[in-house]
Structure 1
């Protein structure tokens, strides 16, 4: 079997999406800085980020249904082209000094719609590009790509904005164009699809929701993942706020935050091996126990670099859990429903990503730092106990899953997606 590194289509997809994610991460940092420059208002800056998150949540479910209707490679191509055009127009507006906040909001909405479409399209197309036996390795490498793009893009965005407010957006436009060119050369086998009338569209969205609800493992993991992400996002914001209150420099806080991505990259590299040696239940609950144990340690370490090591350790096992359940979900789900499955899971985790920082802000406002940390630990701990004792997840370790038992005679692993 051809290795992933020699799989021409997967290699083109991985490199192209890595560039796109790096460019997007650069603009995520630069957009609020741009709004602050234009308005000198932190509230307006926060509004722009809120619009970006809200757009992906609102569009998420319909986007998944459209991805299942249309050619997925075409969806990715159109999304990259539209993003390149939208960001390119923003660059021209900044060059000519005619950009207002309303223009930035419009660009953010366009980018949010495109990301809501392209992410499920890529995930749904992955089993057609990668052999079934290598799907878990591809999922792990995609997770590493995401962490790498976030790290490089975040660092690049801040530096480029300091050199010129239009520069990070110019880089993003170029990365989307490069991704578009790489997607042109990817071969994705044609899907057999029955033409569906427009009147069935709302029913197709409902079919995706019902599919997720009827799969016990997917349903339980989704509930646990949303809860764990909520408490960890709250803890993440909480530790940044505590570091700021204690006078830690902005540079050190940036390094602290970046160490989360570093831990994720290392965990993604280890995920294929851990996925093979750990049974599904242990792979999933391992990240719950790790985060629950690490949060209280924040009471005893200094804010800054030491907290960054906690972030890195907490992120290390997440890619293994994600690899386990994502592979399971992709192989369990019929091809005509994979876009909707991805969009439902994306919306669920998006809710946690939006509400987690809000919860963290409330904890900072009304509790002492120690009380806030222990509250996050208690919430994560309850979810950990639930995930550990849940009979559906415990049976998942022993039941025959869509890719076999998790181990075969050759030692290869086939499995599914975690929080």
Structure 2
């Protein structure tokens, strides 16, 4: 076991990120990976919907995968803080490559819905370990002074790749079937692993955490709780964790409901579904490019709360949208706000968390954050099928607005909590 201290260094790395070889390689690899991953974002729900015709099944599968993420999140932070993060990222990519590759191989011999319930939860669990490690690695690669810029760059180009990815995924699924799109997603993990392999290991292996954290031999449960303890001692992070847990309950299954509305209510093809989500990804790109400037101008609290307000209004509007282009435009607005709020939240955690705890704090945050998500995804899927997509959008949007109003009464409203 290798005990590492990595994360947001207390001294920012000098120079421009555009001249940082390791960060640029990492950035390009993750952008390509997200482009491929966007194929599965569309292909898996389409595969379920085409076979079963059930929005409830779509929501249930999303919920099962989300549950696996929550369970993995309990241990992901310890792995990210105690093992070589570069090797851990590569291992996660290779495991997901194998898992997703089994779907088109087995599907070639017949329809096997059970396989999705076996593969996707495992892939989601490994993906949680990857994401926790990824957040900690970005902090080390960029440094404290550049972390918001780095997150914005990663989100923006991932979103740019996501513009083309969903559109192509819809075309591929429409002409060759959803399993062909899943095959492309599997290949994307190989590109991600190669990119991490090409970065220097010295950017991941830094000062031992044992120098800054008391040994806890014989008390492994303390390792698991360390991140949660830090979160709930910090007034802003504590409130964010609680608010976002309810937000994810209302939004984790939202993409499934948008797909269901386009296919079931509006009678659109797989290609149109891909096009709409591709347009929506433009919003993610725009929000990611603007977030650093927005936060510098408005501060953390106004940026985060404002993004939540607009997100809630956008979700409400989805319930009223009657055309494909209206759905696409609203999705772009919604995803822009989600990216602004998400990057602000992640950057704040990276800035205020001690480096040796960053993996466990991220893991604890996401575990708690996603704990209600699987139930919410299943409820949204059931609601869309039995009460209609419009009802689901109205209830979800109104709930998000209530959360934003609650945030105004909490420490989240502070403009510069990172300076406390």
TM-score range, shorter chain: 0.7 to 0.9
Q: Provide Cα deviations, 1:91-110, integer angstroms capped at 9, x if missing partner.
A: 55556x38855555443344
- For 1:225, the equivalent position in structure 2 comes to 244
Asked if 1 retains the 8 angstrom alpha-carbon contact of 2:281 and 2:335, the reply is yes
Unaligned ranges ≥5, structure 1: 403-419
Alignment of 1:24 onto 2:37: yes
Looking at structure 2, the residues matched to 171 and 130 of structure 1 have their Cα atoms a distance apart, in angstroms, of 30
Report the alpha carbon displacement of residue 72 of structure 1 after superposing the two structures with TM: 0.9
Moved more, 314-323 or 75-84: 314-323
Following superposition of structure 1 onto structure 2, how do residues 245-394 of structure 1 map, counting pairs within 5 Å? 246-250=265-269, 252-298=272-318, 301-361=321-381, 363-364=383-384, 373-390=393-410, 392-394=411-413
Asked if 1 retains the 8 angstrom alpha-carbon contact of 2:137 and 2:204, the reply is no
In 2 relative to 1, CA 238–111 (structure 1 residues): closer, same or farther, beyond 3 Å?
closer
- For 1:175, the equivalent position in structure 2 comes to 188
- For 1:210, the equivalent position in structure 2 comes to 229
Name which structure has the greater RCO, CA cutoff 8 Å, separation 6+.
Answer: 2
Match of 1:116 among 118, 128, 143: 128
Report the alpha carbon displacement of residue 177 of structure 1 after superposing the two structures with TM: 1.8
Report the alpha carbon displacement of residue 228 of structure 1 after superposing the two structures with TM: 3.0
Asked if 2 retains the 8 angstrom alpha-carbon contact of 1:296 and 1:373, the reply is yes
Following superposition of structure 1 onto structure 2, how do residues 124-203 of structure 1 map, counting pairs within 5 Å? 124-161=136-173, 162-163=175-176, 167-187=180-200, 188-191=203-206, 192-194=208-210, 199-203=218-222
In 2 relative to 1, CA 349–13 (structure 1 residues): closer, same or farther, beyond 3 Å?
same
Number of equivalenced pairs? 398
Over the aligned positions, Cα root-mean-square deviation in angstroms equals: 3.3
Report the alpha carbon displacement of residue 355 of structure 1 after superposing the two structures with TM: 3.6
Q: Provide Cα deviations, 1:149-190, integer angstroms capped at 9, x if missing partner.
A: 544443333433442665334423332222222111212242
Looking at structure 1, the residues matched to 386 and 178 of structure 2 have their Cα atoms a distance apart, in angstroms, of 37
In 2 relative to 1, CA 120–20 (structure 1 residues): closer, same or farther, beyond 3 Å?
same
Looking at structure 2, the residues matched to 32 and 243 of structure 1 have their Cα atoms a distance apart, in angstroms, of 12
Q: Provide Cα deviations, 1:296-322, integer angstroms capped at 9, x if missing partner.
A: 445665343113222222222333333
Asked if 2 retains the 8 angstrom alpha-carbon contact of 1:90 and 1:99, the reply is no
Unaligned ranges ≥5, structure 2: 1-13
Alignment of 1:397 onto 2:419: no
TM-score scaled by length of structure 1:
0.81
